[in-house]
């Protein structure tokens, strides 16, 4: 799984670690990568493709709490 958040990566990692979830998210797109949240999704998909050898074929599900992406 990949994580997409507007948080800076160290803050996001700290939050996930506190919740015991950080190990589920090896890669992601973070607020420290780009100001545009839509770009964070694209970046996370690219990183998952590279890290896991994943082939994106419109099979990504995004769960979020932001009103717009």
17 within some domain: yes
40 within some domain: yes
45 within some domain: yes
Residue 10's domain comprises: 2-52
12 within some domain: yes
Please say if the pLDDT value at position 69 is more than 70: no
pLDDT in tens, 38-47: 899 999 999 9
Backbone angles phi, psi at 2, to 5 degrees: -115, 150
Average pLDDT over residues 6-20: 95
Please say if the pLDDT value at position 57 is more than 80: yes
- Of 11, 10, 62, which is closest to residue 40 (Cα–Cα)? 62
Cβ atoms 40, 9 nearer than 8 A:
no
How far is Cα 16 from Cα 36, in angstroms, rounded to an integer?
22
62 within some domain: no
47 within some domain: yes
Q: Residue 24: which region, alpha, beta or left (left: phi > 0; alpha: psi -120 to 50)?
A: alpha
60 within some domain: no
Structural domain tally of the chain?
A: 1
Confidence of residue 67 (pLDDT cuts 50, 70, 90): low
pLDDT in tens, 14-36: 999 999 999 999 999 999 999 99
């Amino acid at each position: 799984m990949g994580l997409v958040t507007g948080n800076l990566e160290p803050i996001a990692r700290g939050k996930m670690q506190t919740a015991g979830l950080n190990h589920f998210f090896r890669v992601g797109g973070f607020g420290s990568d780009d100001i545009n949240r839509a770009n964070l999704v694209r970046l996370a998909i690219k990183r998952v493709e590279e890290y896991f050898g994943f082939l994106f074929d419109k099979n990504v599900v995004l769960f979020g709490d932001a009103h717009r992406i």
